[in-house]
């Protein structure tokens, strides 16, 4: 039999207003609970998180980090701050000003001069275009700090929730160790690796922190008899969360549901007593709506993409949610990217769909029968709902980072259920209270430590694949050979290492898995081109463009293949197409301007257009010697010899500065010296009023 709660250890915190009579009775705190025990448990949670993620600092910038962080122009300065908050469209952090601002801080603090390259050994860094290097470790440190703060907030939130009136009789006396167990297991769970170690996914962990802070501050506001501090902090956290990720939209509803289940007798009473708080929370939807309507990630978010319909996306989400739950309870064979793959058949999504439907029905029933469990289930579904239905990420149909917050609900339910089950079993096996307590706490500690060690070890192993893109995609290919995106990306890594021969089979495998995969066709063409087979590369690149006409990179690569095939007239068409789809695409500008300025055939040359492109390029990338040389040739084609000479001299001066300042090896210095020799020849031609004619543009290259 369950022993009755000790009435002497119960006190009631009254509130002003209607809800005072329904205030949650909280167990009085023993002296040791007010001192070092909570801080000791908090230190244990932080230590466990540090041990689990210590090898995450070896991670480098990967995938979306390139556009979202490394080359993001908004992050290069902190002043004015509003500029740092608005990243370019269709990057991971676009439309998420709070995330963008935090990344800008790390970006500014994490830059070092490349001249200190000798001091950067064993540190993950990537060179920038301005002669500096960007460290990844600072970004990893901030991501881990956010995660640890979220774990501590979860610790406090669960502790206060278990001491609330509906749960105090069963869990109040053990709220501290149970909350610590929840936070401990949550902080080391390997499903969070993508949210913490993958740097551009800071949006998920930062939103999670503000979501938990919103609930935590709301709980304090419910317990406070007066004052505006906690309501203000609650609304502020909610605003910051709205500026971090769209999933935060459910936070005001979660606060209201918490109020109804743990504090107030009805929704009407909750809204009446906390009308100012809920008005403030409702107002936070306005900036979120504005950010969503701006369409910052329209290329990947929404049902407007032709390859994905609403029914097809939902078919993907049933197995996805089933996968999240399975990996949450028993994380095994963790996969960074599940690819896209074909739409699941009915036999593939029937069982997961049945499980999800039962889960939804169970949550509805629990809200009436066991409201506390229903609250956890409702939060789980509410947080997953936007990315699984309302705001779909069609290019990322299954991703662990979506479980960052829902995992807290799962962990809390599992820990509390295990505690209730264990106590029931011990009551049946032991008649003596002392033995029951001794065995119970001993078993609980052993189980918690064992689970934390196992989860932490899995987290460290999963962190290890983020050392480089090669280790990342090699891991995915090994675990999921049928993943067409992994096959393509691993091949791209091999090609970047200068091994196109080894990359070709992976591109062909990706195409066999998904014939309408434009990225794989483009990479197959590039690999063939790098083998010196330009003519054979043309049909591959043509197929990529057929599948995706506005494919900027494929159009540029087609232009390069046609130039090497001696077909510059056709190459101009594709370079122009690349600039139409992306006017600021600096990779295509120099080659196009050079053809228009220096081709021997007057039917292809267009000096005015060459000057327009080259001037725009030099404004976007100032002081680049190659671009200045192209600009000089364009001026010469139009007969502006003075401007041609000035640009040629600037190109030579820029090369000389690079020669004097950059730590180049012997081969690098020789290459730069050879370039300067060619530029001097060009400059001499301008002084003699002779334009540049590049004979290599009219014949195939080997």
- pLDDT bin (cut points 50, 70, 90) of residue 492 is very high
pLDDT exceeds cutoff 90 at 25: no
pLDDT at site 115:
52
Report residue 440's pLDDT band, with 50, 70 and 90 as the boundaries. Answer: low
Q: What is the pLDDT of residues 328-346, one digit of tens each?
A: 989 989 999 888 777 888 8
Q: Which of 42-56, 388-402, 435-449, 658-672 has the highest mean pLDDT?
A: 42-56
Do residues 55 and 137 lie in contact, with contact meaning Cβ atoms separated by under 8 Å? no
Q: Which residue has the tokens 């043309």?
A: 538
Question: For residue 63, what pLDDT is reported?
Answer: 85
* Range in 208-217, 436-445, 460-469, 549-558 the model is least confident about: 436-445
How many residues can be counted in the chain? 702
C-alpha 333/C-alpha 83 separation (Å) is: 41
pLDDT at residue 436 in the model? 54
Say if CB 485 and CB 510 are below 8 A apart.
yes
Q: What are phi and psi of 618, to 5 degrees?
A: -70, -25
Residues 509 and 485: beta-carbon distance below 8 Å? no
Least confident range of 17-21, 187-191, 192-196, 210-214: 17-21
Which fold, 489-576? 1.25.40
Is the separation of the CB atoms in 535 and 500 below 8 Å? Answer: no
Decide: 408 and 271 in contact? Cβ < 8 Å. no
Geometric angle at alpha carbon 99, from 94 and 105, rounded to 5° = 115
Question: pLDDT band at residue 348, thresholds of 50, 70 and 90?
Answer: confident
Which of 218, 216, 230 has the alpha carbon at shortest distance from 155? Answer: 216
Q: What mean pLDDT comes out for the span 244-262?
A: 94
**Sign of the C-alpha dihedral computed for residues 115, 117, 119 and 120 taken in this order:** positive
Strands (DSSP E) along 357-431, which ranges?
none
Strand partners for 113: 132
pLDDT 10s digits, 511-564: 999 999 999 999 999 999 999 999 999 999 999 999 998 899 999 999 999 998
Phi-psi region of 79 (alpha: psi -120 to 50; beta: other; left: phi over 0): beta
- Kindly tell me if the per-residue pLDDT of 41 is higher than 50: yes
- The arithmetic mean of pLDDT across residues 188-198, rounded, is 95
pLDDT bracket for residue 225 (50, 70, 90)? low
Q: Please calculate the CA angle 367-369-374 and round it to the nearest 5 degrees.
A: 30
Residue 67: band (very low, low, confident or very high) from pLDDT cuts 50, 70, 90? confident
CATH domain 586-702 topology: 1.25.40
Q: How far apart are CA 605 and CA 599, in angstroms?
A: 6
Please tell me the predicted confidence (pLDDT) of residue 314. Answer: 81
372 in Cβ contact with 162 (< 8 Å): no
Kindly report the number of other CB atoms within 10 A of residue 561's CB atom.
Answer: 27
Three-class HEC string of 81-134 = HHHHCCCCCCCCCCCCHHHHHHHHHHHHHCEEEHHHHHHHCCCCEEECCCCEEE
Determine which of 28-42, 190-204, 327-341, 644-658 has the lowest per-residue pLDDT on average.
28-42
Q: What are phi and psi of 533, to 5 degrees?
A: -110, 75
Q: What is the mean pLDDT of the chain?
A: 86
**Which of the two residues, 443 and 519, has the higher pLDDT score?**
519
Contact yes or no for 174/182 (Cβ under 8 A): no
3-state DSSP of 244-264: CCHHHHHHHHHHHHHHHHHCC
The confidence band for 442, taking pLDDT boundaries of 50, 70 and 90, is: confident
H or E, element range at 573: helix 568-581
Per-residue pLDDT band for 611 (boundaries 50, 70, 90) equals very high
pLDDT in tens, 125-182: 777 766 678 888 899 999 999 999 999 999 999 999 999 988 988 888 889 999 999 9
Beta strand segments in 545-658, E:
none
Q: Are 175 and 441 in contact (CB under 8 A)?
A: no
Lowest model confidence (mean pLDDT) among 113-122, 292-301, 516-525: 113-122
pLDDT on residue 262? 94
pLDDT at 177: 92
Q: What's the confidence (pLDDT) of residue 126?
A: 79
d(CA 373, CA 409): 9
Q: What is the mean pLDDT of residues 64-85?
A: 88
Structure tokens at 425: 């079993």
Q: What is the mean pLDDT of residues 197-214?
A: 95
For residue 257, which of 246, 270, 245 has the smallest C-alpha distance?
270
Contact 394, 317 (CB under 8 A): no
Residue 23 confidence (pLDDT) above 50: no
Alpha carbons 118 and 112: distance in angstroms, whole number: 12
CA angle 103, 107, 108 (to 5 degrees): 125
- Tell me 468's DSSP state: -
Q: 516 is written with which tokens?
A: 């309408």
CA 189 to chain centre: 18
> What is the model's pTM?
0.84
Mean pLDDT (whole number) for 300-308: 54
d(CA 96, CA 90): 11
Percentage of the chain modeled with pLDDT above 90: 57
Q: Where are the domains of the chain?
A: 31-58+139-463, 65-135, 489-576, 586-702
18 contacts 272 by C-beta, under 8 angstroms: yes
Q: Is the pLDDT of residue 390 over 90?
A: no
Q: What is the DSSP string of 193-209?
A: HHHHHSGGGHHHHHHHH
Check if the beta carbon of residue 534 is closer than 8 Å to that of residue 700.
yes
């Amino acid at each position: 039999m369950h022993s009755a709660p000790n009435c002497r250890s119960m006190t009631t915190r009254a509130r002003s207003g209607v809800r005072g009579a329904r205030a949650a009775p909280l167990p009085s705190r023993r002296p040791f609970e007010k001192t070092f025990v909570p801080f000791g448990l908090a230190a244990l949670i932080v230590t466990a998180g540090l041990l689990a993620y210590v090898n995450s600092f070896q991670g480098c910038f990967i995938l979306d980090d390139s556009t979202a962080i490394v080359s993001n122009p908004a992050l290069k300065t902190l002043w004015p701050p509003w500029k740092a908050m608005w990243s370019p469209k269709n990057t991971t952090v676009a439309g998420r000003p709070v995330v963008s601002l935090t990344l800008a801080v790390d970006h500014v603090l994490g830059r070092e001069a490349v001249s200190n390259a000798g001091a950067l050994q064993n540190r993950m860094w990537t060179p920038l275009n301005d002669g500096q290097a960007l460290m990844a470790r600072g970004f990893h440190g901030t991501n881990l700090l956010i995660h640890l703060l979220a774990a501590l907030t979860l610790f406090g939130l669960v502790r206060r929730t278990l001491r609330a009136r509906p749960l105090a009789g069963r869990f109040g006396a053990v709220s501290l160790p149970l909350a610590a167990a929840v936070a401990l297991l949550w902080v080391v769970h390997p499903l969070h690796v993508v949210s913490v170690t993958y740097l551009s996914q800071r949006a998920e962990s930062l939103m999670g922190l503000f979501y938990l802070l919103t609930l935590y501050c709301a709980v304090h506001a419910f317990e406070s008899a007066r004052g505006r501090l906690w309501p203000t902090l609650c609304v502020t956290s909610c605003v910051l969360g709205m500026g971090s990720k769209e999933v935060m939209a459910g936070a005001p509803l979660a606060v209201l549901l918490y109020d109804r289940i743990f504090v107030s007798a009805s929704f009407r009473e909750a809204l009446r007593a906390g009308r100012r708080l809920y008005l403030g929370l409702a107002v936070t939807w306005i900036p979120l709506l504005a950010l969503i309507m701006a369409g910052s990630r329209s290329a990947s978010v929404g049902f407007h993409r032709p390859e994905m319909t609403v029914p097809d996306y939902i078919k993907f989400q049933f197995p996805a949610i089933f996968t999240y739950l399975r990996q949450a309870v028993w994380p095994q064979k963790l996969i960074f990217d599940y690819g896209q793959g074909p739409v699941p058949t009915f036999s593939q999504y029937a069982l997961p769909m049945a499980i999800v439907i039962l889960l939804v029905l169970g949550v509805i029933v629990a809200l009436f029968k066991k409201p506390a469990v229903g609250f956890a289930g409702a939060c789980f579904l509410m947080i997953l709902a936007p990315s699984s239905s309302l705001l779909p990420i069609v290019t990322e149909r299954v991703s662990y980072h979506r479980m960052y917050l829902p995992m807290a609900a799962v962990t809390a339910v599992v820990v509390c259920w295990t505690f209730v089950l264990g106590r029931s079993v011990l009551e049946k096996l032991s008649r003596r209270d002392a033995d029951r307590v001794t065995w119970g706490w001993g078993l609980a500690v052993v189980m918690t430590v064992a689970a934390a060690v196992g989860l932490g070890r899995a987290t460290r192993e999963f962190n290890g694949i983020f050392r480089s893109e090669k280790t990342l995609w090699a891991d995915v290919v090994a675990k999921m050979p049928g993943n067409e995106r992994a096959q393509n990306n691993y091949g791209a890594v091999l090609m970047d290492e200068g091994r196109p021969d080894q990359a070709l089979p992976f591109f062909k495998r990706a195409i066999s898995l998904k014939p309408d995969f434009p990225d794989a066709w483009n990479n197959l063409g590039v690999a063939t081109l790098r083998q010196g087979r330009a003519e054979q590369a043309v049909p591959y690149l043509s197929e990529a463009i057929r599948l995706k006409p506005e494919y900027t990179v494929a159009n540029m690569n087609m232009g390069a293949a046609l130039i090497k095939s001696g077909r510059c007239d056709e190459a101009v068409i594709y370079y122009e197409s690349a600039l139409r789809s992306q006017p600021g695409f600096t990779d295509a500008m120099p080659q196009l301007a050079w053809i228009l300025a220096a081709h021997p055939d007057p039917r292809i040359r267009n000096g005015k257009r060459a000057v327009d492109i080259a001037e725009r390029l030099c404004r976007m990338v100032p002081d680049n010697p190659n671009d200045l040389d192209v600009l000089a040739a364009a001026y010469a084609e139009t007969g502006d010899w003075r401007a041609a000479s000035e640009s040629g001299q600037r190109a030579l001066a820029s090369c000389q500065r690079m020669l004097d300042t950059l730590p180049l090896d012997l081969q690098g210095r020789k290459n730069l010296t050879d370039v300067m020799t060619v530029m001097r020849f060009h400059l001499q031609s301008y002084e003699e009023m002779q334009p540049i004619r590049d004979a290599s543009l009219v014949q195939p290259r080997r």
